Homo-oligomer: A and B are copies of this chain.
Amino acid sequence: MKTQSDTIRILLTHMQRIIHKHSFLEDHPIRFAKDIVLTPREIHTIQAIGEHPEINIKELGELFGVSKSAASQMTAKLVGKGYVCKENPIDNNKELRLSLTDAGRQAFHAHACFHGKHLAELEKCLKSEFSDSETARTAELLAIIENVMDKRISTLTREG
């Protein structure tokens, strides 16, 4: 006889494996074309710049939760590879606004398609086996998990 504790245990095991597999995927560079191979970090940076036009370096760092120095290094690399362009706005010689070059937009688009495809597939699978209310209920359950994690994070950041 399975108790609810058992099903929760199973649920969390799946969650753990999903997280693990996600980080596996995140750790592997993706080839978008014959000669375009980008690390996950590079892709995400391109994505962030594509989705936040005119973002500056400091903001980019904040978006990723890393130091501005780290953001500067990452962008410098992408500028070097020709995916990103840095330039001062007309009335400001201090900040640098980031934008995508043609190659950058191409990578951005390829990545979006890539993601869209997988999302569509997942959606198809879920719809075929779960009702609307079931998916909604699952979303609520995940929200609870998220809340518990938030609590833990806040205790962690308080203690330093």
Contact = CB atoms under 8 A, between A and B. Distances in A.
Given A4-B127, A7-B139, A125-B148, 9 more contacts: A7-B132, A7-B135, A7-B136, A8-B123, A8-B135, A14-B139, A14-B146, A17-B146, A24-B65
A123 B148 CA distance: 10
Interface string A1-14: 01111011011101
A113 interface: no
A126 interface: yes
A105 B12 CA distance: 25
Interface stretch (A73-81, A91-99, A150-158): A150-158
Given A15-B18, A148-B125, A152-B118, A135 B4 contact: yes
Instruction: Place the interface of chain A in its size category.
Output: 35 or more
A155 B28 CA distance: 13
A112 interface: no
A125 B21 CA distance: 26
A129 B14 CA distance: 20
A136 to B, nearest CB: 5
Interface of A: 2-5, 7-8, 10-12, 14-15, 17-19, 21-25, 28, 31, 65, 118-119, 121-123, 125-127, 129-132, 134-150, 152-153, 156, 159
Contacts of A126: 8, 141, 144-145
B135 A134 contact: no
Contacts of A65: 24
Given A22-B19, A22-B149, A152-B118, A130 B125 contact: no
